[in-house]
Amino acid sequence: MPFVSATSVFDPFEDDWTAARKPRLAEQLCNVSRFIRDLRIRMRYGELSRAPLQLLRLNILGEDVKCDWLARAPDPWDADLSRHVRERQLSLQTLRDAIDVRGLLFDVLPDVETADLRVYRQADGLGRELIITGCVQRNDHSSRSIHSLAMRAKVLGFRFNLEGDTFSKILAERQIREVD
């Protein structure tokens, strides 16, 4: 005995449950995959350093994202430059990368509204130092007319300390609470 529906296929009041359901999980996974792929391709080389960015963490919770990465290492070709020039180029590259990762994140992940971003650098020992952190938002377009890279990053919501041309280590929120 074949299965017969109680409602007609031509019934205008019947809900089309297959059209109403969007494959949200599959779409989100594709977006995350695209972000990681684009990060590896677009951010493979910087303007001032050929070292790649290294993604440490990507955590997506609804409209919020937490993303950590390791800043680029100095370019080996810059070894003959003075320490001051080398540090300045590395700092400029790190700021450009932070702004670019923010843009890529909001471009590829349309559901994300806020992002907690952290940039670490490899310390002389085996550890890592936090050098840039920020809670950035999608709708922040106020920095487009600012020419200074450091000022643009600050207006976008990044927090960092530049001493001369070098980033100084900043304390994470939990370390600040431990000190108080």
Is it the case that residue 36 has pLDDT exceeding 60? yes
In single-letter form, the type of residue at position 40 comes to R
| 8-state DSSP, 83 | H
CA 76 from chain centre, in angstroms, equals 25
Q: 170 with 133: CB under 8 angstroms?
A: yes
Q: What is the pLDDT of residue 125?
A: 75
Is it the case that residue 58 has pLDDT exceeding 80? yes
User: pLDDT-derived band of residue 86, with 50, 70 and 90 as boundaries?
Assistant: confident
Average pLDDT of the residues of the chain = 80
Mean pLDDT of the region 160-177 = 76
> How far is residue 167's CA from residue 161's CA, in Å, rounded to a whole number?
6
More confident call, 104 vs 75: 104
Q: What is the pLDDT of residue 109?
A: 92
Is it the case that residue 103 has pLDDT exceeding 70? yes
Mean pLDDT of the region 11-31 = 64
User: pLDDT-derived band of residue 144, with 50, 70 and 90 as boundaries?
Assistant: confident
| 8-state DSSP, 81 | S
Closest CA to 104 of 70, 67, 151: 67
Angle between helices 83-108 and 149-156 (to 10 degrees): 40
